[in-house]
Structure 1
């Protein structure tokens, strides 16, 4: 048995953490079957291979996920670690490769002051650094920073640090800048961006009036260690100098204006004459606690070249050939003072120009960048403090030499694959992954074009698909912290997180949105085997659920949203009594909280009792036993979501399940095998049909190409998921209606996590209709899991790969048998398989 990979706090290495007892984890590989870890030993040293800091000794345990470091800890220190394990026969593995983590300030003083300058400031400081052997830059800029040392950009992250509730938490980053320093004179310079912290453009969500709103500011500590062991610290203070800079305006909604004529040559390098600059201004520190940033930063992850350039009325419209989030890198040759305008959008107007409408933002400028040429010849520029959702960019003012789309998102790893015999399903998978990626910007956003907000309901619906497609433990842990930070004293959560104050009363309360809090806390343990977020935020979760229970009316919850954006309701709010969906989601949140409480050792009987009471009230109000389905008085029309959601959440009494299922099936068939659901109902519709024996109907709905359907979008040329079912969808990069891919992973292929970071997982392909094969593979915290099935006529073959430390419960359709591997039969057609690769087969399946 060998140690295949190691991680610290889910990262291969970690530069700068304020976690004093970080989780150390590893995955294992072994030939054959049923290999298991029986013990481990972790050593931590001050240099590679050493054990002078901490030695766990041999620990009898099969645990390889989340071994908490228990040694001494000091700020600004690098620790090297490695691990070896013992197998079931007592044989010890070789040591793993040596990895490392480095602590940040651990809550200590930055030794610096927050500073700022003019509205579009450049900030700089000269310093000397001889024989530097180690240098770290600890930096936070609000909302964003761009730092250069000796004329070179520090780090490859952009739009950094991550967006938070700035009156609760402010993040700082750590950079290794040793190689950027030179003997003798050096200089450090910075620009600042407004982001959500200092936004000035009026907008529907009041970011320009957020409770933390202030002018941009910088906090930095450059710490240099010399060969003789002494240290030099260059911290931000009033001795830094400031001057007006080239960024004339920047807005996440309006775009950025950059005047290249105003860039002082060499401003961030040594020897620059800043005698005419003013002293930097000291700024009041934000109220939030400074913490080292743990989630993956936002980066430029890909360049995209246009598939066409079209001249329209003196402008050039570039089609990047795909919908993306990011910005344009422009290369142009034009006289000094030439203003080149770049308008970004997902759609074209009838005349071929780019549509840039956004009714939520004041002013006429939307998603538009401006570059004022320096006139120095061939110039290349890209913005620093904005990003856009777009496929098309319209360039006017000068003909570009080159246009390149820059894909900008959280630098998270795509850790799974999906394939199947239905090309449309593969199209869905690719489109959903792209849509999700375009909305990963430190928070799960709803659309990179219009809002860029962290809508809680969108995240609740999309999270299972996100977790399958991408490695997101660091991302989700950060946003769970954001949820807790956004809670008010009464226990309420806003519908967008972070929130600057908007969303507590506007479109709220909405438990279908805000019960993402118990949902993510519970699922985080299921996906990653990590209960620390739940332990850290249990008190906040209790306050939230108690607030929800205190406002029940007649035993039911109320909401402002409901099954948002069903077909035919472009304004979003559906016609049925939304107390049904509100109460259903609150019930699920209470059930999940009870499960968490059991896991953490809390007494949660009151939540089980409350869940039962909500269930009874919901059924008493909405379940029509005569008609055999759920209905609401406010809308006599049959609503698919009103029946699919109670079925999905276990709310339907046993004796009513058959009639409720049949009513749902009948309505779908009466609509020509079409759905009639908004975002909530859509997320559960196909799994519910499949679970109740109607996989063929689920397949028919999924493969529709007429309105309303996913296929309809792609008939219209979509390459991402859309916000609405109709052709006029406002946002064409919106994942909450695209949850069909969750059905592909969990039902078509059949892979579902059970608990404790896939320590147990379920393989049950139960949506075989219309397909000959399907497969997925995902890199879990315990190692790679793969599931692949195929069939020819009545013959079915299923291959499953189980990593060391996990057990699969495999359901084989038909009369299953084991072909390869020592799986144990639990009951007819059900097998239990520990580590190894297994092949199952069955005969007698009906040909579909």
Structure 2
């Protein structure tokens, strides 16, 4: 006999057969654009089925009926529902099929409320149920949903990936019980306790403390409170139908000693269960902490979809964040299936909007009760909407699988063509709403879009990059007509950028972001590159190597400096510890990447803006540069069939090691200073070759295997790599 079960829900669900969980998955079936598709999962449950079996399904609000967004939106639906199909195949070939229908019953639950933002309430007194066949059981009815919209979930499931013990428990100045778990995580508390029947314990969660108390202002309207009502017996509370972003928890109603709490509570960490593939380490502990913060931030924000943050009344699939972070994400973890699945929703949402890629996917903001300017996508926005092109491109670059481009190509085309309709008669993109260089560190706290960079310059540069990426994708796929279409579009945009924004050895708005974008995207002629690179380096020096870019410029500024012979400036900018900088949050004790460069001010107070998160991965996009340029490991060909080994070495870092599980196997580069020499070791996977590039020496081809090479320590002054990463 064999048995399988197919499971889905309008909401989120967990299932048991004969009291045993069918899997360790959480938040099944995840979040998709429910209007057009719904995931299902399939499990082998042969070991759980007996002669007589009971199937139980717990259903929660999840994303379907839960609260979503910082503005009031309609819910996807008013009723949550479960779907299950149990198939039992007997040895004689007979198959029994049991499906959810009106014959099922519903029994009381110990869960009296559940919401991602506001938390979960568990009343353990209700566990003494009269059973599913008892008088407390109720009937169910069928909820309509088109069966042809069900599709298998191909992405890794959300799971519990770690469990942390308290690092410190104490009373706050106001007498509240506080717990510190040491790092900023995403998940929930697991609490084991015995106490008086009806006694209430609440757990509130937050990422940081302010003035010794839990800092909850940054959560905005999200309550982030779990409530536990004791049964009078030994209770175990696990609020698995919610999640919180937190390092600290505040317990109210704890009636025992603090020493007892240390044994009673743990923090359960959840994330989509992605396979780790990329690693980085170097001689500077703060840099290692930064990299670990980037990894942890990605883990906390990759919960079924790539979100912006995991704690406040948002947690949405912002396209701009993943547009910035996709190269880093595809190196650190195997994100191919995860992001390819999300890109399906990008295309579905876009198809309903005449080619407009919304700012978040799935797009709940289109259901805003009172639309707010800039909240919903009235039109495409540069960088954010460009995720429809940039993300599939990075997946192709990382994994070398053109089917990813093929699956997204119509979406890429639709976005590229939509952008062409938005250009002004001069050929630049200076119309409509733009986020621009969002969260420029010089922008006022209450005006995050007030950047130094002219938003039209940013938008036109991004439009050029998008057109050129579509051209390249079309060439890979053999789509000659589209390749020619977007080759011409890219040429027109480049010429318009030059005509409108480049004059007198300056680029309009004369700030680091516009030079970084122009240099990295290829918008400048060779003779212009030299003065633009020098101007960028001058601006970086004049800022005393403090970062001056927002979302648009940050992923590219270190590359712009490095590729134009200003490696020392790139290192100094990267290693800066004063605010604002990548390492400043590390000096302040950060364990994830902050949304703002100064989410916490040097005096320990929280940024006064009403949009401040301590777990946003976007500014961690610098890890892509760390892997390629400090670590020296980059693809020459998509999928790493040919690898570039070319670490760029400057003052401040004495050794570094980078490794990656490529589609061909394990690749590794390690270098270490040794007086006037550098000792370099490399592992090239079978099926790949590598090119070692070193200043002053001819390029050297390395075959598959391990290599150890002593190299002279020389200044990297080349203006560009012979083999530029794809």
TM-score normalised by length of structure 1: 0.78
Q: Relative to 1, partners in 2 of residues 1:225 and 1:654: Cα closer, same or farther, differing over 3 Å?
A: same
SS in structure 2 of the partner of residue 590 of structure 1: helix
Query: 2-side partners of 1:792 and 1:452: how far apart?
Result: 47
- Counterpart of 2:720 in structure 1 is none
Distance change >3 Å, CA 847–CA 176, structure 1 → 2? closer
Q: 2:514 aligns with which of 642, 658, 666?
A: 642
Match in the other structure for 2:229: 372
| Aligned counterpart in structure 1 of residue 415 of structure 2, from 544, 562, 565 | 544
How big is the shift at 1:813? 3.1
- SS across alignment from 2:53: strand
Contact conserved, 1:418 with 1:429, CA < 8 A, in 2?
A: yes
Asked if the contact 1:461/1:680 (under 8 Å) is kept, the reply is yes
What is the rounded CA distance, in whole Å, between the counterparts of 2:279 and 2:376 in structure 1? Answer: 41
Q: CA deviation at 1:275?
A: 4.7
Structure-2 separation of matches of 1:780 and 1:433: 18
* d(CA) in 1 for partners of 2:502, 2:665: 45
- Aligned-partner Cα distance in 1 for 2:136–2:120: 27
2:563 corresponds to 1:691: yes
Structure 2 distance, partners of 1:757, 1:844, is: 30
Against the structure 1 CA distance between its residues 844 and 413, is the aligned structure 2 distance closer, same or farther, given a 3 Å change threshold? Answer: closer
Report the number of matched residues: 683
Query: Which of 465, 469, 480 is matched with 1:588 structurally?
Result: 465
- Change in 2 beyond 3 A, CA 1:739/1:555: same
1:560 counterpart = 2:416: no
- For 1:432-831, list aligned pairs within 5 A: 432-450=294-312, 451-487=314-350, 488-502=352-366, 505-506=376-377, 509-553=380-424, 554-557=426-429, 558=431, 559-569=433-443, 570=445, 571-573=447-449, 574-602=451-479, 603=481, 604-624=483-503, 626=504, 628-632=505-509, 638-726=510-598, 727=600, 728-729=606-607, 730-815=612-697, 828=698, 830-831=699-700
Mind listing any 5+ residue stretches in structure 2 that lack a counterpart? 367-373, 601-605, 718-726
Residues 767/629 of structure 1: CA separation in 2 closer, same or farther (3 Å cut)? farther
Q: After the TM superposition, which residues 106-505 of structure 1 pair with which residues of structure 2 at under 5 Å, given as runs?
A: 133-183=1-51, 185-199=52-66, 201=67, 203-204=69-70, 206=72, 208-210=73-75, 212-265=76-129, 267=131, 273-285=133-145, 289-312=149-172, 313=174, 315-350=176-211, 352-358=212-218, 361=221, 366-376=223-233, 378-399=234-255, 401=261, 402-450=264-312, 451-487=314-350, 488-502=352-366, 505=376
* Aligned-residue offset at 1:441: 0.6
Cα deviation, 1:382-420, whole Å, max 9, x if unaligned, reads: 112111100001111233641100000011121222121
Closer, same or farther in 2 for the Cα pair 1:552/1:807, shift >3 Å? same
Distance 1:203 1:843 in 2: 55
The answer as to whether partners of 2:188 and 2:238 remain within 8 angstroms in 1 is yes
Mapped to 2, the partners of 1:190 and 1:264 lie a distance apart of 17
- Residues 276 and 735 of structure 1: CA distance in aligned 2, closer, same or farther (over 3 Å): closer
* Contact 2:206-2:246 within 8 A present in 1 as well: yes
SS at match of 2:537: helix
Distance in 2 (CA, whole Å) between partners of 1:643 and 1:329 is 50
Q: Deviations over 1:200-233 (max 9, x none)?
A: x474255x415x4342111100111223221211
- Whether contact under 8 Å (2:219, 2:311) holds in the other structure is no
Alpha-carbon separation, structure 2, partners of 1:540 and 1:742 = 25
Contact 1:193 1:216 in 2 (8 A): yes
**Counterpart Cα distance in 2 of 1:721 and 1:536:** 32
Provide the rounded CA distance (Å) in 2 between the counterparts of 1:263 and 1:322. 33
1:846–1:525 CA distance, 2 compared to 1 (3 A): closer
Deviations 1:289-316 (A, max 9, x none): 1111111000011000011111245532
TM-superposed CA distance for 1:162, in Å, is 2.1
CA distance in structure 1 between the aligned counterparts of 2:333 and 2:25, rounded to whole angstroms:
19
Q: Deviations over 1:592-646 (max 9, x none)?
A: 111110111112211011111111112222212x2x22123xxxxx421011111
CA contact (8 A) 1:794 1:847 kept: no
Deviations 1:120-142 (A, max 9, x none): xxxxxxxxxxxxx2111100012
Given that 2:688 and 2:703 are in contact with CA atoms closer than 8 Å, whether structure 1 keeps it comes out as yes
Q: CA deviation at 1:180?
A: 1.4
1:344/1:367 contact within 8 Å kept: yes
Alpha carbons of 1:499 and 1:288: their partners in 2 closer, same or farther (altered >3 Å)?
farther
When normalised by structure 2's length, the TM-score is 0.90
Greater mean alpha carbon deviation, residues 554-563 or residues 322-331: 554-563
Partner secondary structure for residue 63 of structure 2: coil
Instruction: Check the 8 A contact 1:318/1:403 in 2, yes or no.
Output: no
Tell me the distance in 2 between the aligned counterparts of 1:507 and 1:249.
35
CA contact (8 A) 2:176 2:250 kept: yes
Distance 2:29 2:68 in 1: 23
> In structure 1, how many angstroms separate the alpha carbons of the residues matched to 2:383 and 2:69?
25
**Mapped partners of 1:380, 1:139: distance in 2:** 26
Q: CA shift at 1:430, angstroms?
A: 1.1
Is the contact made by 2:452 and 2:511 (CA closer than 8 Å) also made in structure 1?
Answer: no
Shift in CA distance, 677/245, structure 1 to aligned 2, threshold 3 Å:
same
Tell me which structure has the larger Cα radius of gyration.
1
2:294–2:617 Cα contact (<8 Å) kept: yes
Deviation at 1:158, TM superposition (A): 0.5
- The answer on whether the counterparts of 2:568 and 2:651 sit within 8 Å (CA) in structure 1 is yes
Alignment check: 8 A CA contact 2:695 2:715 kept: no
Q: CA deviation at 1:724?
A: 0.6
Aligned counterpart, 1:837: 706
- Please list the CA deviations of residues 569-607 of structure 1 after superposition, one character each: whole Å capped at 9, or x if unmatched: 233101432011111112111111111101111122110
User: C-alpha distance in 1, partners of 2:536/2:587?
Assistant: 27
